[in-house]
Amino acid sequence: MADHAILSIDGKSYEFPLVTGTENETAIDIATLRGVTGGITTLDPGYKNTGSCESAITFLNGEEGILRYRGYAIEDLAEKASFLEVTYLLIFGELPTQQQLDKFHQDIKEESHVDEDIKKILDGFPKSAHPMGVLASLTSALTAFNPGAVNVDSEEEMYNAMVKLLAKFPVLVAWTMRKKKSQPLDYGSDNLGYVENLHKMMFARASKDYEVDPVIIDALDKLLILHADHEQNCSTSTVRIVGSSQAGLFASISAGISALWGPLHGGANQAVIEMLEGIKQDGGDTKKYMAKAKDKEDPFRLMGFGHRVYKNFDPRAKIIKKSADEVLEKLGVQDQVLDIAKGLEKEALEDDYFVKRKLYPNVDFYSGIIYRALGIPVEMFTVMFAMGRVPGWIAQWREMRLKKEPIGRPRQVYVGETLRAFKDIKQR
């Protein structure tokens, strides 16, 4: 294959090198474009064709439905690894030895307290506040309790910042839910695994010994792994771009949480269950909703369907669908909404509109059904997505900072008014 691309403008041609990744993805390196052409830029709303960085963390092939973290297939990781192992893998690039994992977990436990004053901030929110807003605010507030910039040249400072976040985030997640339910807060236990401890902080009752069905912890662990990273999606790009201004880790992650909240991104898992419930209450007529999704005059979209990158299938959706069947059966939960979801999927996969546009169920289509079976309230679904995505955000932030990437700052093509004479207010 050629090693450069040629761009021709007004009879002049310019050469740009091609960059090829380890999986043979090719990009045109346009770093010199504005300089050599005298200011010409590229235009790509939604960055559908634009690579923002070179990254060694996650590989995704949307045509073939491949997702790998640091070279390991998502199917293997979901089946064989724990969420904490995957966290270590994403951040440091290798699966941990038992000793490395134990130390990592111990370091996290040491940092798992949050300042008592965080509770005052939590108290200030109305009960009606959406948990994602509360979580973003509390994560940002961690900056105030842990001031000081992280020196990226110090391995120790980088490590400490990441461990602090991994330790305190589950506390914020759990307390956010407790606030919504007006329940007393729980402080967790150092005797439990990372995910079990998260579950305890969310669900334990002060008056009762904490016990949990391992089926629940396994399902939660798997869901968190499946959400742990997804290369340069909206929230991850947000984390990287905020971090590129050298804002701190907590501030960058807080921005990522806000980006994730939207219904076209992580907020879709809540939107899916609300949509499925709506269909159920409307008599379960899936055909009616399929027609609405296809009607260009109707703003309704089939939530949990379609993906910017996956154009064949979303490998996470395959794993989650299987897991939904298993978990509901093991827990003895019957959910009519699962049948509605399966019906919608079947119809969509046979429908020209969806086939032509390569729209398949994404990670969010079945995840809410499992969350619900695990007793997690609907408004917490996107918070659980954030909990899972934290290792990916941290890994991407670390990679960006260690590479000393420049501040993220896209260009634009200005299409507004040209210079106008100022008019006095009486003449307007």
Name residue, tokens 């995505």. 389
DSSP assignment letter at 427: G
Render 95-138 in DSSP notation, one character per residue.
PPPHHHHHHHHHHHHHT----TTHHHHHHHS-TTS-HHHHHHHH
CB-nearer residue toward ligand CMC: 212 or 291: 291
Helices of type H across 181-233: 194-203, 214-226
Rounded Cα distance between 205 and 201, Å, is: 9
Q: What are phi and psi of 246, to 5 degrees?
A: 70, 20
Q: Which is nearer to ligand CMC, 5 or 378 (CB)?
A: 378
Residues 36-55, interacting with ligand CMC (CB under 6 A): 46
Q: Which stretch binds ligand CMC (CB under 6 A): 79-87, 90-98, 175-183, 259-267?
A: 259-267
Binding status of residue 360 toward ligand CMC by CB under 6 A: no
Q: How far apart are CA 199 and CA 223, in angstroms?
A: 13
Distance of CA 63 to the CA centre of its chain: 21
CB atoms within 10 A of CB 285: 11
Closest to 236 (Cα-Cα) out of 220, 258, 218: 258
CB of 222 to ligand CMC, least distance (A): 16
Of 36-44, 207-215, 298-306, 413-421, which segment contacts ligand CMC by CB under 6 A? Answer: 298-306
- In whole angstroms, how close is the CB of 236 to ligand CMC at the nearest point? 9
> What distance in Å separates the CA atoms of residue 220 and residue 235, rounded to the nearest whole number?
21
Output the residue with the shortest Cβ distance to ligand CMC.
Answer: 306
In the Cβ-directed half-sphere of 163, how many Cα atoms lie within 13 Å? 17
Based on CB atoms, which residue is closest to ligand CMC, 174 or 302?
302
Could you give the CA distance from residue 58 to residue 72 in angstroms, rounded to a whole number?
9
Task: Identify whether the C-beta of residue 251 lies closer than 8 Å to the C-beta of residue 150.
Answer: no
Question: From the CB of 232, what's the least distance to ligand CMC, in Å?
Answer: 11
Nearer to ligand CMC, 45 or 406 (CB): 45
The residue within the footprint of ligand CMC, chosen from 196, 221, 364, 399 (CB under 6 A), is 364
Q: Which is nearer to ligand CMC, 221 or 364 (CB)?
A: 364
Site string for ligand CMC, 319-358 (x = CB under 6 A): --------------------------------------x-
Strand partners, 7: 14
Q: Which stretch binds ligand CMC (CB under 6 A): 162-170, 202-210, 295-303, 375-383?
A: 295-303
Of 36 and 300, which CB lies nearer to ligand CMC in the complex structure?
A: 300
Please say if 307 is a catalytic residue: yes
Non-local CB neighbours of 392 within 8 Å, separated by 6+ positions: 57, 58, 90, 228, 229, 230, 236
The catalytically annotated residue of 105, 199, 230, 307 is 307
Residue number with CB closer to ligand CMC (243 or 388): 388
Question: Taking a C-beta distance cutoff of 8 angstroms, is the pair 12, 1 a contact?
Answer: no
List the one residue from 239, 249, 275, 363 that touches ligand CMC (CB under 6 A): 363
Asked about 76 being catalytic, the answer comes back as no
| Residue 176-215 contact track with ligand CMC, rule CB under 6 A, x = bound | ----------------------------------------
Among 141, 249, 359, 370, binds ligand CMC (CB under 6 A): 359
User: Counting contacts by CB under 6 A, is residue 265 touching ligand CMC?
Assistant: yes
Task: Tell me how far apart the alpha carbons of residues 282 and 132 are, in angstroms, rounded to a whole number.
Answer: 28
Pick the piece of the chain touching ligand CMC (CB under 6 A) from 124-132, 197-205, 246-254, 306-314.
Answer: 306-314
By CB under 6 A, residue 268 contacts ligand CMC? yes
Q: Site residues for ligand CMC, window 210-249 (CB under 6 A)?
A: 230, 233
What number of H helices and E strands is found in the chain?
18, 6
Residue numbers of the site for ligand CMC (CB under 6 A)? 46, 230, 233, 264-266, 268, 293, 301-308, 357, 359, 362-364
> Which residues are part of the catalytic machinery?
307, 364
